[in-house]
Amino acid sequence: MMRALLFLLAFPAILGAQQAAAPAVAKVVAEPARITMKAGQTVPLKITAYDAQGNVISNAQLFVGGPRLAVSWSNGQLTAKKAGSYTAFAAAVSGNGSPVNIEIPVLVTWPELTRLEIDGESARLYVGTTLAHTPKGAHTDGTARPSVTATWRSSNEQVATVDRFGNVTALKPGAVNISAEAEGVTARKAYTVVANPVASLDLGIAENTVNTGDVVHLTATARRANGQPVSDAKVAWSYRYTPDDSTVAPGGPGIIDNVLGKPVFTANAPGLFTLVAQSGNVFAQRVVDVKPRDARRKITITGRGSVNSTHTSDLWPWTGKDGRDYCIVGTWGGDGYALIFDITDMNNIVKTDSIRIDARTINDVTVSPDGRYGVLTREGASNRVNGVVILDLANPAHPKIASTFDQGLTGGVHNAFATNDYLYAISGGQKYLIIDVKDIANPKYVGEYQHPGAYIHDLWVNNGIAYSAQGGAGAVIVDVGNGKWGGTPQKPRLINVFPINSGHEIFPYFQKSTGKTYLFLGDEEMNRAGKVWEGTNYMGNMTEKGGVAQTSGGYVHIVDATDPMNMQKVGRYHLEDYGSHDIIVEDDVLYQAYYDGGVRVVDVSGELLGNIADQKREIAVFKSYDPKGYTPNAPFVMNAMPWKGQVLFTDFNSGLWAAKLEPKPKVTP
């Protein structure tokens, strides 16, 4: 059974909205308590909170979630997206109590399969070649059935065979029909197998020596005996591996994959790789020497802005109008305090001021690129009117409140993104609003975007395009003023969605060396159920001073979004025992807040493929142990950002840290 993923994004909003006057939640009831439904169906799911006397708490803060891309809940309705046995999760909080939660078993079945097609590779089926096939199914309503399991058959196994995965291998010339059957529905594909005309293969691999993680494009031209190319011949790729002396028991030493329709290879381990191309009984090979990628550099802590009286959340550095450098830091459960630090001298960080607003938690802080204004997001305001607070940074050491904006933002603002003219603020996880901030004393509502059936957590805007991470949908890309897809700030227009089982953090990176656009998407799972190490009781100790160190799960997905209409997941940054949070990439370096895994600096230069954690791309790691922390010696890095050649990061338990990467020592022959 798949268990619900517990997101950190939900509970700061819930806990922050506690009101002392309201009674504490003693019990949560779901009606119905167990649900059976079909994929695509929406059914009522009522969640009610009660106090210890059995009275309904009408103003309790509620959250209902489930496995991403499986089920979603909105306005009292549960929608199923794919078949399976799941556990939905409902939580409520009010007064000064802790969250009370329940689990709701959800069984989802598929609608009836009514149509089946066979999708095969486009190459010709020559004798000795193998073509892959995939069954594609659809329901009565036209919706697609993912992952159809079919029974495969060949009408003439003397001509061609088919295995249980749909791989068809041609044995001799002749006619043959390949069939796939699933749930009583059958599809057929006819082939005429002919003799293989390929006499040789010319390889187009230019590389002789590469580093681990470098991507090698696999190109080969099949030719007839007279030298003419055979354009429709299938060329299959494989490799043989000989480890070097530094590699002990390698696991998964290399990867061959198709990226946007073209075969590529990358090595995780150093050694000699023999890349083999085959078409029928014709082979060609090329040996590539893979060297270890040594990106390691020493990281040194230079300064601290220690905070141990409360939890800290986000940070944002900027250069003030006075020419000095500053950093604003938010607090989590800190009674609405934001802290201002002078970071001009990273060896001597000085707190210059603090600002208190009506909020329980300031989860996100941001500053406009021109340093004109800053933004504090509010959750848990005393009157339940949250919204954002806009700061005038004319005197950066001592910012003043310029205005507040709460129109349409009463559900709590977990994240925001500032451009010089517009502010994008997430409203209660449901949508983002676009606010005109040309006059920061008089912000104005401009437009908004809400994606159906999704829960938005994070967004970044670049060149008039908004990239958002939305649970239940994936990466949502919207034209909010670029204009190429007809969008404006007043009327945003959807460009495309990349469905992915991740919906927490997102960062779009435009890589100059390759011309590619990569999306880095973080999971953030606070429930480690089902993993070898299930971690600690996160929620039970999160808000107590001291307590047990927090644990986390999930990782960073890497999607090639160069063509937003044709995207593909190509890699990941995955460490089993820790969970990912905020993500920044600059100059081919990933600055990753990896929660209890610390701050991690990673080389992401060149094309990316596979798990970059296996490719010796990590430059530096620092875990912020602090015996005087809110929870002592419990690293939990929330955000990390590069700043003028150094690294700034906030730890949930110990505040602001500054570090620098030392230059790599010169190798002496």
Residue 564 in domain:
no
Residue 492 in domain:
no
Output the pLDDT for position 216: 96
Pick the range with the lowest mean pLDDT from 35-39, 285-289, 663-667: 663-667
pLDDT per position as a tens digit, 122-145? 999 999 999 999 999 999 888 899
Output the pLDDT for position 3: 34
Chosen domain end from 449, 470, 504:
449
Domain identity same for 23 and 100: yes
pLDDT per position as a tens digit, 276-319? 999 999 999 999 999 999 899 999 999 999 999 999 999 999 99
With cut-offs at 50, 70 and 90, classify the pLDDT of residue 17. very low
Task: Report the alpha-carbon distance of residue 634 to residue 637 in Å, rounded.
Answer: 10
Residue 299 in domain:
no
Output the pLDDT for position 47: 93
DSSP H helices, 342-399, are none
Average pLDDT score over residue span 529-555: 77
Please choose, from the candidates 549, 518, 520, 515, the residue with its C-alpha nearest in 3D space to the C-alpha of residue 533.
Answer: 549
Q: Is the pLDDT of residue 586 over 80?
A: yes
Task: Report the alpha-carbon distance of residue 10 to residue 30 in Å, rounded.
Answer: 18
Domain identity same for 311 and 377: yes
Pick the range with the lowest mean pLDDT from 80-84, 272-276, 431-435: 80-84
Please choose, from the candidates 298, 318, 281, 325, the residue with its C-alpha nearest in 3D space to the C-alpha of residue 129.
Answer: 281
Backbone region of residue 75 per phi and psi (left: phi > 0; alpha: psi in -120 to 50; beta: other values): left
* Token code pair at residue 290: 């893979």
Q: Is the pLDDT of residue 247 over 60?
A: no
Residue 584 in domain:
no
Output the pLDDT for position 19: 41
Residue 103 in domain:
yes
Give the residue, 267 or 664, on which the prediction is more confident: 267
With cut-offs at 50, 70 and 90, classify the pLDDT of residue 533. confident
With cut-offs at 50, 70 and 90, classify the pLDDT of residue 549. confident
Domain identity same for 312 and 444: yes
Give the residue, 477 or 92, on which the prediction is more confident: 477
In this structure, how many other beta carbons lie within 10 angstroms of the beta carbon of residue 555?
Answer: 22
**Residue bearing tokens 């940054």:** 573
Question: What three-state secondary structure class fits 541?
Answer: helix
Domain identity same for 352 and 261: no
CATH of residue 329's domain is 2.120.10.30
Task: Report the alpha-carbon distance of residue 521 to residue 468 in Å, rounded.
Answer: 9
Rg over CA atoms, the chain? 28
Residue 283 in domain:
yes
Output the pLDDT for position 517: 97
**Residue bearing tokens 């890309």:** 477
Domain identity same for 440 and 339: yes
Contact 118, 152 (CB under 8 A): no
Domain identity same for 32 and 143: no
Question: What three-state secondary structure class fits 6?
Answer: coil
Its domain, for residue 170, covers 130-193
Chosen domain end from 425, 449, 473:
449
Residue 235 in domain:
yes
Average pLDDT score over residue span 257-262: 90
**Residue bearing tokens 């097609």:** 117
Q: Is the pLDDT of residue 7 over 70?
A: no
Element (H, E) at 92: strand 84-93
Domain identity same for 271 and 387: no
The neighbouring-strand residues paired with 198 are none
Domain identity same for 45 and 165: no
Domain identity same for 321 and 187: no
Residue 522 in domain:
no
Output the pLDDT for position 563: 97
pLDDT per position as a tens digit, 170-182? 999 999 999 999 9
Average pLDDT score over residue span 625-647: 95
Task: Report the alpha-carbon distance of residue 334 to residue 639 in Å, rounded.
Answer: 17
pTM assigned to the model: 0.88
Q: Cis peptide before 67, with omega less than 30 degrees from 0? A: no
Average pLDDT score over residue span 511-524: 95
The neighbouring-strand residues paired with 519 are 508, 559
Q: Is the pLDDT of residue 4 over 50?
A: no
* For the chain, percent of residues with pLDDT exceeding 90: 75
Please choose, from the candidates 345, 339, 338, 373, the residue with its C-alpha nearest in 3D space to the C-alpha of residue 359.
Answer: 338
Task: Report the alpha-carbon distance of residue 40 to residue 361 in Å, rounded.
Answer: 36
With cut-offs at 50, 70 and 90, classify the pLDDT of residue 46. very high
pLDDT per position as a tens digit, 217-230? 999 999 999 999 99
For the chain, how long is the longest CA-to-CA vector? 90
CATH of residue 273's domain is 2.60.40.10
The single-letter code of the amino acid at 139 is H
Provide CB contacts within 8 A for 227, sequence distance 6+: none
Q: What is the mean pLDDT of the chain?
A: 91
CATH of residue 170's domain is 2.60.40.1080
Chosen domain end from 432, 449, 466:
449
Task: Report the alpha-carbon distance of residue 354 to residue 340 in Å, rounded.
Answer: 6
Q: Is the pLDDT of residue 417 over 50?
A: yes
Output the pLDDT for position 538: 55
- Which regions of 292-411 does DSSP assign to beta strands (E)? 299-306, 311-319, 325-332, 337-342, 350-356, 365-367, 373-377, 388-392, 400-405
Task: Report the alpha-carbon distance of residue 588 to residue 114 in Å, rounded.
Answer: 48
Domain identity same for 101 and 231: no
Domain identity same for 274 and 322: no
With cut-offs at 50, 70 and 90, classify the pLDDT of residue 95. low
* For the chain, percent of residues with pLDDT exceeding 70: 94
With cut-offs at 50, 70 and 90, classify the pLDDT of residue 111. very high
Cβ-in-10-Å burial (0-12, 13-18, 19+) of 43 comes to middle
Counting the structural domains of the chain, the total is 4
Output the pLDDT for position 503: 78
Domain identity same for 181 and 103: no
